[in-house]
Structures are given as structure tokens and as C-alpha cells.
Amino acid sequence: MDNQAKSSGASSFTSAMNLDQQGVSSIPQRYVLPPSQRPNIIHHDEHVLPLPIIDLSDFHDQSRRYQIINEIRNACKEFGFFQVINHGIDQSAINEALKAAEEFFNLPHEEKMCLFSDDVHKPVRYGTSLNHARDEVFCWRDFIKHYSHPLSDWLHLWPSNPPSYRKNMGNYAEAVQDLQTKLMEMIFESLGLNPSYLEEEVNGGSQLLAVNCYPACPEPELTLGIHPHSDYGSITVLLQTRSGLEFKNKNNNWEAVPLVEGGLVVQLGDQMEVLSNGVYKSVIHRATVNVDKKRFSIVSLHSFAMDKKIGPAKELVDDDHHQLPKCYNEFSFSEFLHFISNNDITKERFLDTLKIMK
């Protein structure tokens, strides 16, 4: 780590994991949210549909494929996310990745700090919060983030300790990359597009793996593991070890996402909302923490290439008849990174800057 990082961001960095290991009985002020932003009682709206769980087995059977595509369409319109089971990733690959994550976060604090950075453009970085340099309130989590596709381009930059990290996390990253290709085909088909729509861009896109540890928290009612936000990319595939993920539903209430054994959560990001011209919405979500046990998640964020401009699919725009006017301007992943480097995304959504006012 360079001297500038040591003298600025690193000197003010407080690891949630470190605080947990110290056995603190209260959280530092920098983690305490204003009363209006603190997690509260979850509202369960009786008229909201059950949270969707989609079985991907027998997908190549034509009648089953039609049913799955319809389930995905309904889930994307109603929720902006769904869970998948029988998704094709071996449980052993999942278990080994989670084991590697736990071993990494159990490393000495000083060793992890060698990867600390405030720079959101860094290909590998350890930290907390959403934007450590700008956030007024920190998140009660530690993370290691690294680019992952193509794996051969990035693997040598990943943590070399624990010794199994690169192999086991890399196997999982590649399996999720294959799954997202299949999921993108299904989501495109659910929009009425060709399943191979933007095939080259999907295959050549970016994958960022965010491996999170949410330690047990002595005052979980005062803070969050991650603040409300939507993801920037096309889709996000999330693995969690226990419940804690929540999303904001159409009634503006928070709903808990249950832990499904063997399941993975699929969330739509801002790129998908723009590409669908608003037919599908990116999902606003957050992570809560608890007083008893730590929670791990491995979040695979998929987007198009860094400088690839994404706008509404022309098939989903009909400006001439004013039925489906273009609702969003184009944007790229690099423009999003520039935005979060200079703004607090808990106060302003990047997506809102792209909307075309009619």
C-alpha cells in the first residue's frame, strides 16, 4: 500500500471484524445511522406476491423452458429479483468458496490492510462501507472485492493467503460466470428479445466479486451491513450464509429475503433497467446485521465492459407512436465509477441522473 493511502484512508479505517474481535459492547459513532435511516420492523404486505423461487432444472425441455421464462418475466416485473435452485453450481464449489472467504477474514488485520484502498478503480481492494472516503456513516461489514472475468487476467492479483483462496474462489467465480450467461439469455427472452441479444458483450463483460463479512453487532438496531442502494450492472448473483438481505417493494416497505437452501439470489441492476427501457426495474436493497452470528455473502456483480455504452434496446422503444418513448440516456460502467468517486450514493442514485424527463 502506498504512503498516501497509509496517511489518509487507512489511518481512519476501522475494521468491523476488528471491533467484533475486541468484544466492543457498543458501536463507534461513525457506524451509527440517523434515526430515520435505522432498520426497523419489517412490514409484510398481505397483497404482495410470494417471493419467487425458480427451479432451473429441465430448462432445455421446451415446455418447461416456456414456464421458466414466464416465471422470470413475472418476477422481474413485480420484484426486480428472484431466487434460483437447481442452478447447476455444485454445492462443493459453494462450500469451498465460503470456506475460503471465512479463512480470509480470519487473517490478521495487518495482512488484510495490505489490500486496503479508497480507490474504487482498484482491481483488488479491501475495505468497508460503499465509498469509505465519502460515506458519512460506515457499514458494519468488511469486504474484499476483485475483478474476476476473464479469470486469467486477474487471478494473480487476488489474495495469495489463505493458500486455497485463489483456487476455490476462482472455481466459484467461473461457475457463476457461466450461470449468468444462461440467466441473461433467459431474461432477454422474457423481454421479447432474442436470447443471444448482445451475446458478445455479455461474454466479454465485467465480473466483480464482492466477498463480504458482516460480523455480529452489539447494536444491530443502530446500523446496517450495507446501506440501501441498487447495483450498477446488468444482474447480480448473490450467495448468503444466513438471512439479512432485504429489498424495498413497490409499496416502499422493506421485505426480508429468506435463506433458501442451495439457492442463489438474482438481482436486476441499473444496466438492466436502462436496457429494458424501464420495463424491468433495478432493485433497491440493503443488508441488516444481527447480535448473534456473523454472516457471509459472495456477490457476483456482472456488467458490460468498462467503456461499453448501454442504452434502451431499440426493440423496446417506439418514439414515433409515443407508446414506448426512450426513458433513459446511455451510460457505461466507467461513468458509474466516476459518479461514486465523487458522490454519496446513499443520497443520490446514479440511475436518476440517466432518466429522461418527459
11 domain-assigned: no
Instruction: Kindly give the residue spans of alpha helices, DSSP state H, lying in the chain.
Output: 3-7, 9-12, 16-22, 62-78, 91-105, 109-113, 151-154, 165-190, 199-203, 270-275, 333-342
For 242, the domain range is: 20-354
Per-residue confidence in pLDDT tens, the chain, 358 aa: 444 444 345 555 678 988 988 889 999 999 999 999 999 755 555 545 578 999 999 888 888 899 999 999 999 999 999 999 999 999 999 999 999 999 999 999 999 999 998 888 899 999 887 666 667 888 999 999 999 999 999 999 999 999 999 999 999 999 999 999 999 999 999 999 999 999 998 998 999 999 999 999 999 999 999 999 999 999 999 999 999 999 998 888 898 999 999 999 999 999 999 999 999 999 999 999 999 989 999 999 999 888 889 999 999 998 665 568 899 899 888 888 888 777 776 677 888 888 887 6
Amino acid at 352: D
Kindly state whether residue 15 falls inside one of the protein's structural domains.
no
Burial 130-141 (b: 16+ CB within 10 A, else e): bbbebbebbbbb
Note whether residue 115 is domain-resident: yes
How many Å apart are CA 135 and CA 13, to the nearest integer? 12
Question: d(Cα 30, Cα 27) in Å, to the nearest integer?
Answer: 8
Residue 122 burial by Cβ neighbours in a 10 Å radius (0-12, 13-18, 19+): middle
In the numeric block, which cell numbers belong to residue 28? Answer: 463507534
Residue 182 lies in a domain: yes
Domain assignment of residue 245, yes or no: yes
8 within some domain? no
Domain count, the chain: 1
pTM of the full structure: 0.91
Distance CA 240, CA 322 (A): 43
Report if residue 196 sits inside a domain: yes
Domain contains 264: yes
Q: Which residues 6+ apart lie within 8 Å of 61 measured at CB?
A: none
Q: Return the CATH number at 278.
A: 2.60.120.330
Please name the residue ranges forming H helices in 15-150.
16-22, 62-78, 91-105, 109-113
SS3 4: helix
